[in-house]
Structure 1
C-alpha cells in the first residue's frame, strides 16, 4: 500500500527513536524472524554511518518466550505466565538485534514508573546518553516481568514516545504492519484512504484508529496516535510507516517517507524549555559565582561544581532547583544531578574531584545544560 502515498521529505534529525512492534519480529511458526528486522537494522546502520544516533524500542520478548516453550501447555492468557514468557524471551530478542547490528547492542529495560520517578529518570537518561556516546545501539523494552499495567496494554508505542523525550530525540519513527494512518480501518472498509500528513491530532483523527492488527502484538493504531500526541507535546514529530517493506525502510535512509507524518506542536527546544521553566521546583537553591552566572547566562553551559559557592534549603537528586547569583537573582533552573548534601561538599571543586570527594559520581555536571533553562536570556 505504500505506493499509494507520494514520497515526502523526512524532517531533519540527528537523533531518533525507532519503535518496532512484535508483529514485525514474530515468525509464522512461532519465535522470532529477521525477515523484516533486516531492513530496519539496515536503516539503523545507514543512519549511524551518516553520523546520526538511533535508539531502538523493540517488542517481541513474549513471542520469543512462547516459542521456547511451545512443547508445554501454557495457562492461557494468565498474566504471571505472560510475565514469565517475557523474561524468557528477552535474551533471544536481544540476540536477534545483535545478529543484525554492526556494533554492540545494549539492553535497557524500563517501566513508566522509572521515567516518572525523578532519580530513576536521571539514571535512565544518563545511561542512554552514555551508550550513545559509546556508539552502542540501545535496545529499550518495557520491563514486562514487573510492569503489570504496561504488559496488559502492550504500551511500547507510548514508551517509545517517552523515550524520545527522555533522550531529546528529533524524530520518533514507528514501524508498523500497516503503511500509514487511514481514514478508516482498511481491513474492514475498502473506501478507506491513506493520510500522508497530519498537522494536528484532533479528536476526529483519533476516531480513525482501528484495533490491533495482529494476534501477536497487543497495541493498535490508537496507541500509535497516543504516542504521536505525546511526542508532539515534546516538540518531536512522528512518522508511521510499513516496517514490512524493505523499499520503504531504504527510502528512510535517503530521507524520504512513504507513510504518515505527524507534526510536532512546536520545536523540541521550546517544548523542553517550557517544561523546565514551569515544572514545580524543590524548596532549595544553588548559589553560583559571577563566572558561573555569566557562563549560564549564555545558554550553552552546564553548571559545574567549581562555580558553586553555596546552597539554600533542601533538595534531592533529580529535583528541579533554582540557580541564583551572588545577589540572589534567579538566573536559571534545572534538574540537579546531586542532592543538597552532595552539592555542599562539591562546591568550588573541580569536576575531576567528584569521585574522590563523594566516592562515586553521577557525572561531571551538577546540572547538565540539556536539563537547564536560563531565566535571564533574551526572549526566554
Structure 2
C-alpha cells in the first residue's frame, strides 16, 4: 500500500526540531512538517501529532547550573504551553492536548479511554497533540521517550502509518557520523537482533531518544500492521517525497498478519509490575494459562497486586509470557514455599487454579 492510500497517520516530532539548542520554541524547522500535515488533511487523512519539546522549550526560563528532576518537571510545565502555542500558530484548525504517562497506557480501562478520546477528536476534525506528562510522572512510571509513545498511540487508534522524524536520513548499517562508508538501509522487512546492532545508541543533545528507541517503536508499530518511516525532518523535501509515494528514509514494512490489538497491548504497552519464576519442566506444551499453577513456582520478584501485569520467566531467565495475575505477590511468595504447598489439601484452589488470567496472554517463549 502506497502512502496515498493511507488513512490515519501518526507523526512524531522531537525536541531538536521544536526547540533547537534549548533556546525556546522556534517555527524554523517546523514549517515543512506543518505543511505536510495540512496537505495530509486536505487529502482526507487523519493525523495525530506526537510532539516532544516541553522541557527544551521551558529550559531558557530557568537559570540553574544543574537540572534536577524537580526542575525538569517545572521546565516541562512551563515549556508545554509555549509548545502548544507554537503548533496552534502553524495551523488554521483546532488542536487538542493529551499528556500521558505509562500508567495511563498500561491500565486497560484508561488505555481504552485514551483511544476513545483520540477517536472523538479525529472524528470531529481536531488534531490531537500528544506528549508524555513529564510534569507529574516518576521515572518508574514513564514511557521514557516519545518514539515508543508514538508507536503506542498509533496502535491504540489503528493507524496505518507512523512517521518518526529525526536528524539523519534513516537507519544506517553503522554510525554515519563516524563512518564515511555507512550505508543507508532503505527497507527493513523484519526487525531482528541484527537490526538493533545497527543502532548507534547516540542521543540528541535536546531529546531523550536515539536510533534504538526508533527501532523499538518500529517493532511495536509494524507488528500491529503499521508501516513505519524514519526520515530526516530537517530536509523538507522528504515530506514531498512521501506524498509522491517515494521512500524518503528507512521504511519498516508492516506485518501482513498483525498481532491482535489486545495481545499487542499486553506485549508492548502493559508494563510488568513484577516477575514470576517457574519451572518450565513442569509445564506442558500448549495453553500456558491451563498449565501455570502454583506447583511450578520457584521465585517471585517485585511487588504486585491482583490484576496487575506480570512477566513469567523460567529459571534460566527466558521470558515465557506477560499476563494478568490472579494472585498478589504476597500470596505467591507464600505459595512458592514447597513446604507450604505440601500442607494444603490436594483439591485446594490455591494448588489447582492458574496463577494467571486467560485475558490477553502474550506468549513470549519464542522471543
Q: What's the TM-score once normalised by structure 1's chain length?
A: 0.66
Closer, same or farther: CA 29–219 of 1 in aligned 2, 3 Å:
closer
The yes-or-no answer on 1:157 pairing with 2:135 is: no
Q: 155-164 vs 26-35, which deviates more?
A: 26-35
1:254 paired to 2:244: yes
Q: 1:271 aligns with which of 259, 276, 279?
A: 259
Q: 1:44 aligns with which of 24, 34, 37?
A: 37
1:334 aligns to what? none
Alignment partner of 1:271: what SS? coil
**1: distance between equivalents of 2:243 and 2:29?**
16
Q: Kindly tell me: are residues 216 and 274 of structure 1, through their superposed partners in 2, closer, same or farther at Cα, counting changes over 3 Å?
A: closer
> Aligned pair 1:86/2:76, yes or no?
yes
Conservation of the 8 A alpha-carbon contact between 1:144 and 1:151: no
CA deviation after TM superposition for structure 1 residue 191, in Å: 1.4
Q: 1:231 to 1:278 in 2, by over 3 A?
A: closer
Report 1:172-211 matches (<5 A). Answer: 172-211=162-201
Of 58, 66, 74, the match for 1:65: 58
* Residue of structure 2 in register with 1:234 after alignment: 224
Which residue, out of 46, 62, 73, partners 1:53?
Answer: 46
How far, CA to CA, are the matches of 1:276 and 1:181 in structure 2? 24
- Structure 1 residue 119, shift from structure 2 partner: 1.6
Kindly report structure 1 stretches of 4+ aligned residues shifted beyond 6 Å: 150-153, 276-279
Q: Is the 8 A contact 2:19 2:25 kept in 1?
A: yes
Asked whether the equivalents of residues 75 and 81 of structure 1 are also in contact (C-alpha less than 8 Å), the reply is: no
Deviation readout 1:242-290 (Å, 9 max, x if unpaired)? 11011112222333221000012334xx4236739999xxxxxxxxxxx
Instruction: Kindly report the root-mean-square deviation, in angstroms, between the aligned alpha carbons of the 2 structures.
Output: 2.5
Partners of 1:53 and 1:195 in 2: CA distance:
28
1:18–1:175 contact (8 Å) kept in structure 2: yes
Counterpart selection for 2:204 from 198, 214, 229: 214
* CA displacement at 1:80 relative to structure 2: 1.1
Structure 2 CA distance for partners of 1:43 and 1:151, relative to 1, 3 Å? farther
Residues 21 and 206, structure 2, Cα contact 8 Å, conserved in 1 = no
Where 2:5 maps in the other structure, the secondary structure is: coil
Q: Structure 1 CA distance, aligned partners of 2:159 and 2:15? A: 23
The change in CA–CA distance for 1:150 and 1:17 in structure 2 (over 3 A counts) is farther
Partner of 1:13: 6
Q: Could you say which residue in structure 1 is the equivalent of 2:103? A: 113
Deviations 1:105-136 (A, max 9, x none): 11101112111112211211111000001101
Give the Cα separation in 2 of the matches to 1:32 and 1:67.
10
SS in 1 for 2:260: helix
- The answer as to whether partners of 1:142 and 1:150 remain within 8 angstroms in 2 is no
Question: Which residue in the other structure is 1:5 paired with?
Answer: none
Question: Could you tell me how far apart the structure 1 residues matched to 2:266 and 2:105 are?
Answer: 18
Tell me, yes or no, if the aligned pair for 2:22 and 2:56 is still in contact at 8 Å. Answer: no
How many Å separate the matches in 2 of 1:185 and 1:226? 18
- Secondary structure of the corresponding residue to residue 55 of structure 1: strand
Gaps of 5+ in 1: 1-7, 280-318, 320-380
How many angstroms apart in 1 are the aligned matches of 2:244 and 2:186?
18
Judge conservation of contact 2:12–2:51 (CA < 8 Å) in 1. yes
Residues 1:276 and 1:28: Cα distance change in structure 2 (over 3 Å):
closer
Residues 274-330 of structure 1 show CA distances to partners (whole Å, capped at 9, x for unaligned) of 739999xxxxxxxxxxxxxxxxxxxxxxxxxxxxxxxxxxxxxxx9xxxxxxxxxxx
Question: Post-superposition shift, 1:27?
Answer: 3.1
Kindly tell me: are residues 224 and 273 of structure 1, through their superposed partners in 2, closer, same or farther at Cα, counting changes over 3 Å? closer
Cα pair distance change 1:50/1:277, threshold 3 Å:
closer
Q: CA deviation at 1:151?
A: 9.0
Paired position in structure 2 for 1:129 = 119
